[in-house]
Structure 1
Amino acid sequence: MAEPPQIAVVTGGARGIGAAIAGTVVRDGGRVLVADLDEEAGRALEGRLGSSARFLRADVTAEQDVRAVFAHAERELGPVDAVYANAGAVGVTGTLVETAVEDFRSTLDLLVGSVFVTFKHAVATMRDRGRGAMVATASVASLRGGLGPHAYTAAKHAVKGLVESVAVEVAPYGLTVNAVAPGGTVSSLSAGLIGTSPDDLRTAYEQLAARSSSGVPTTSEDVAEAAYFLSRARRVNGATLVVDGGDAVLGTAGRAYYS
């Protein structure tokens, strides 16, 4: 039996992975509300996706904004049944000694606090309906250290743990919650770090391709397809799906064994 088209909320959806998720939902016949602080990019995405998409400017670290996002989605699009908690940024970088406590805390608020608040209102919205899916954007930095800055790594570990914990609570309601864990991904986030601007995807593609075990980098669309799969997988709950082209197992150590 075919799944009905989704009515989805995507946080941090104006660019990169979030925009790719929104596009995937619409491509499959669904409707989507994109929530983001970047109004210019959000409005542009809304225009590209057409009548099936809405944009709402929102700060997902503020509970009142997240509450408004769900109210707006239900009013404009209908009963929400898929939620993608994708908002994030690299956050504070630097050595432990150099990192200001307030910057560490604000990074955790954005990267894991926003996921908590989004999940909270997603569950409140969907649980009485007996079905619904939540997908968080985690990272390979959720799985081990050394793959990101301290605060980012701590927050992404927390996202993975929150997904597993929430899955236990929501399973009796017929809800699922999972996470995608991208490796180095061609997106506005990586382009801003690697290239000259968040729009410099070509440089990000070339540099990430050079670092990839397969010579092909992971794209935002690759991660979006994985996230969308998890939102449709009724019997997958509390899981974290790595999306890195196999780099974790195809890296230097793996190649050395077979050489």
Structure 2
Amino acid sequence: MQHSPSVALVTGGARGIGAALAEQVVARGGQVVVADLDERAGLALVERLRGGARFVRCDVTDEGQVAAAVDTAAALGPVDAVFANAGVVGVTGRIEDTTLADFRRTTDLLLASVFLTVKHAVRVMRPRGRGAIVCTASVASVRGGLGPHAYTAAKHAVKGLVESVAVEVAPYGLRINAVAPGGTVSSLSAGLMGDVDDLATPYRRLAAASSSGVPTTAADVADAALFLADAARVNGACLVVDGGDDVLASKGRSYYG
């Protein structure tokens, strides 16, 4: 990475990949707005970052709150990068057991939130003619069997949205890309294994499942996202970050019971 965004916004920034992104932006001399519903974790992160970060409580399915988070970042200066990172695993289980309400709730959190974040990022970036957007997709964006049904559908759609928006915004000097993590040591995987604060368990399990014996970490994914934010001639891409384990081996299928 040649330089850091001077002002960035990270949704879902209080923990996991989002927190790693915020930490790296500040470490490179930038300012970051951390947008999340988890106020306790978000404020603790901001305190650790010692003045380089601000926290905004944000429900990423609410357009007014997303717009306000983007405007908070814009008030700090020109927004160079927006990371649409918020997400959950959502509803799991067999297709015939999945309710429409649960499906919609999951896709709102995983897809509608990205649409809203991208929409308002473009709103503030287009007049300046410069800016990078990076959306957190998933290996489930490129292959089935690596996540639950609603999650996989939404993450495929995130990849499609990135490719479509890239065509629109390229003439205006903007770029949008996706980073697609596989199994990652983060609060999300820790929560699936029982304790959102226990990163040792997902580290151990993912390391054992990895062909290299080394698991992908939140910092690894943040490195890739920051590369995409800085890569001036990369637009509309989806960069898989999984050590070759998930997409190549296609070993998922545990979500259907």
**Structure 1 length as normaliser, TM-score?**
0.94
Q: How far apart, in 1, do the equivalents of 2:125 and 2:47 lie?
A: 28
- Structure 1 unaligned residues grouped into runs of 5+: 254-259
C-alpha displacement of 1:3 = 4.2
- 1:81 deviates by 1.3
Alignment correspondent of 2:211:
213
Looking at structure 1, the residues matched to 172 and 50 of structure 2 have their Cα atoms a distance apart, in angstroms, of 33
Partner of residue 257, structure 1: none
Aligned residues: 250
Is contact 2:8-2:79 (8 Å) kept?
yes
For 2:176 and 2:66, locate their aligned partners in 1 and report how far apart those are by CA, in whole Å: 18
Within 5 Å, which residues of 2 pair with 1:193-208?
Answer: 193-194=192-193, 196-208=194-206
- Distance verdict in 2 for CA 1:232–1:252, change over 3 Å: closer
Contact 1:14 1:42 in 2 (8 A): yes
Percent of residue pairs bearing the same amino acid type? 70
Between structures 1 and 2, the one with greater helix share: 1
Cα distance per residue 1:135-159 (max 9 Å; x no partner)? 0000000001110000000000000
In the alignment, what sits opposite 1:169?
Answer: 168
2:48 is the counterpart of 1:68? no
Cα distance in 1, alignment partners of residues 249 and 72 from structure 2 = 45
Residue 231 of structure 2 corresponds to: 233
8 Å contact from structure 2 (residues 42, 55) kept in 1:
yes
RMSD between superposed Cα atoms in Å: 1.4
Q: CA deviation at 1:6?
A: 2.3
Give 1:130 shift.
1.1
Are the equivalent residues in 2 in contact too, given 1:142–1:181 (CA < 8 A)?
yes
For 2:95, what is the secondary structure of its paired residue? coil
- Structure 1's 144 and 252: CA in aligned 2 closer, same or farther, altered over 3 A? closer
SS of 1:51's equivalent in the other structure is coil
Is contact 1:7-1:31 (8 Å) kept?
yes
Report the Cα offset of residue 251 of structure 1.
3.9
Q: Establish whether residue 101 from structure 1 lines up as the match of residue 100 from structure 2.
A: yes
What residue is the counterpart of 1:140 in the other structure? Answer: 139
Counterpart residue type for residue 166 of structure 2: A
| 1:64 Cα deviation after fit | 0.3
* CA–CA separation in structure 1 for the residues paired with 2:11 and 2:199: 21
Structure with bigger RCO (C-alpha 8 Å, 6+ apart): 2
After superposition, where does 1:1-259 map in structure 2 within 5 Å? 3=3, 5-75=5-75, 77-194=76-193, 196-248=194-246, 251=249
Local SS of the residue matching 1:189: helix
1:121 to 1:99, Cα distance in 2 relative to 1, 3 A: same
Q: Which runs of 5+ in 2 are unaligned?
A: 252-257
TM-score, structure 2 length as denominator? Answer: 0.94
In the alignment, the residues of structure 2 paired with residue 252 and residue 135 of structure 1 have an alpha-carbon distance, to the nearest angstrom, of 25
